[in-house]
Each structure stands twice: as C-alpha cells, then as structure tokens.
Amino acid sequence: MDGATAKKPTVLVTGAGIGIGRATAHAFGKAGYHVVATDVLAAEGGAVAAEIVAAGGSAQFRLLDVRSTAEADWLVSDLNAEFGALDCIVANAGIARKVPLDDLTDEKWDETFDVDLKGMIRVLRPALPPMKARKSGTIVCISSIMGIAYGWDEHVHYSAAKAGVVGLIRGLAVELARSGIRVNGIAPGYIRTAQLLSEQHSLGPAAAQKAGEFIPMGRIGEPEDIADVVLFLASSAARYMTGQTVVVDGGLLVGRY
C-alpha cells in the first residue's frame, strides 16, 4: 500500500463490475476513496478498477463470490490487515432470475437468498470488529422497490430477499449505532442495467422504454442516479441517518399509489 492510498478512506463495493455497482465504484473513486471493487466477473471488475486509476483515482480489483463464507472471510481479513478497518461497505451484489411459482424449487429460492441477502452478511460480518474498535464506519445495502412496495410477477423469491435486506438494514442499524457505525439502504426503481434490459429475466428494452413514460420524472433511472445517493449516505452529510431505506425511483411509487 503506497502513502497516497494510506491517506484515503477505503470503500468495498460488491458486484462492482457492472450496473449500479460499477457506477458506485466510480463515484467513490472520484470522491477520493480507495475503491476495492469486487465481483465474480473478473474482466468487468478489473476494468472498473483500471478505469478509476486511469482517471487519477485509487482502486484495486479483488475476485469475490459472495456465496462463499470462506472467500468473504479471507478477503475482508486481508483488507482489515491492510487498512486497519474499512470506512464503508456497499453491499450491492445481487441476482434476479425470473421463475414462475410452479418452477420455484428450494434450490432456486435458496440461490437468490444466498446471493441477495446472505451474501451481504457474509461480507459485513468480518468487517465489523475493526469498525467497532475504531467506532466509525458506514454500510449501504442495495434493496429494491420490489422489496418495500411492489410485488413482482414470477420474482417472488427476489421480492422476498430484497424485503429481507430492509430488515437487515434496520436490525444492523440499531445494533451498531452505539459503535459509531451507520447502516442505510437504497430501494432503486427501474434503473437502466443489464438486469432490467434482460428479455429473459426482466422488462427488456421495449418495456423499459414504456416504463419511463409512466414514471413521473419521465424516464427510467441511470446507475449514476443510485451511485450518487450511495455516496451521500456514506458521507458526513448523512451523519444523523441510520436504519433508513431510501427510495430512488423518479417518483414511481408516489405517482402510482
């Protein structure tokens, strides 16, 4: 670790290779953080770290499958040894697979929970002791409007897991508040990501375009719209916020209910 990196606050972003994770990694890089970009997508994650460095920032890529407790424990332990404690963790890694109820086996249910909910606590758990010892740190977990207000046809497992993320945020926030650690979340609406544009698992390009027509702000969101709010929640500007899941959806929920 060089001297320049040592002076920077450090953020770990899961699922940083594409979409919201990628935009978030770039936002923190521009804000002066040392970014630890993690993903199972080695090429995409490595490219994000390289882009941040090329733009004058500080970053590294670390391969991480959040389904593996051993991988998460080892990686976070290594980072704790390098940095003392992480300043921020953005728990973003997730999957959303379209599965009708008749085909929703235990295995398919468990796969989504293993990544979208359990994958978060795997990364957070080993990072907490150094944060507690230092009495500071921020955590931002990515949920979804499907976890707080919408049901999603043929995505029952996804909605349930993302609702679980909201409960995780609340529980951690209360337990960690007196340790100086803040925990908040974001519930994105329709965001232009590979997931949303998937014909197989989500809206697809045509339906995403139509969705923009009934969103009050007149468009679907961009990953950067979420990344900037993540950065806010991690900053001192949100110093008295904890346990909150902020909806960022262009007015979709308030415009339809």
Overall pTM > 0.85: yes
Residues 188, 226 contacting (CB under 8 angstroms): yes
CA–CA separation, 69 vs 170, rounded Å?
A: 23
Question: pLDDT-based confidence at 201, cuts 50/70/90?
Answer: very low
CA–CA separation, 38 vs 34, rounded Å?
A: 13
* 137 part of a folded domain: yes
Looking at residue 62, its pLDDT comes to 98
* CA-angle at 9, arms to 43 and 37, nearest 5°: 10
Looking at residue 206, its pLDDT comes to 63
How many domains is the chain built from?
A: 1
* Residue tagged 């949303």 (tokens): 196
Residue 207 has pLDDT above 80, yes or no: no
Is residue 257 annotated as part of the catalytic site, yes or no? no
Catalytic residue among 33, 150, 158, 190: 158
Least confident segment among 69-73, 98-102, 197-201, 233-237: 197-201
Least confident segment among 47-56, 111-120, 153-162: 153-162
* 204 part of a folded domain: yes
Q: Residue 252 carries which side chain, given as an amino acid letter?
A: L
Given phi > 0 = left and psi -120 to 50 = alpha, else beta, which region is 41? beta
Looking at residue 203, its pLDDT comes to 55
* 192 part of a folded domain: yes
Contacts of 223 (CB under 8 A, 6+ apart): 19, 20, 22, 23, 24, 191, 192, 193
Q: Which residues pair with 11 in a beta bridge?
A: 35, 88
* 256 part of a folded domain: no
Which of 181, 166, 93 shows the shortest CA–CA distance to 130?
A: 181
The whole-number average pLDDT for the span 184-204 is 69
| Helix/strand/coil for 10 | strand
* 201 part of a folded domain: yes
Question: pLDDT-based confidence at 215, cuts 50/70/90?
Answer: confident
| Enclosing domain of residue 190 | 3-251
Looking at residue 3, its pLDDT comes to 41
What is the CATH classification number for the domain harbouring 54?
3.40.50.720
Average pLDDT score, the chain: 91
Strand-by-strand arrangement of the 181-188 sheet: 58-63, 34-39, 10-13, 88-91, 137-142, 181-188, 245-248
Q: What percent of the chain is modeled with pLDDT above 70?
A: 90
* 257 part of a folded domain: no
171 C-beta neighbours (distance < 10 Å), count: 12
Segment 5-63, tens digit of pLDDT: 558 999 999 999 999 999 999 999 999 999 999 999 999 999 999 999 999 999 999 99
Radius of gyration of the chain (CA): 18
* 70 part of a folded domain: yes
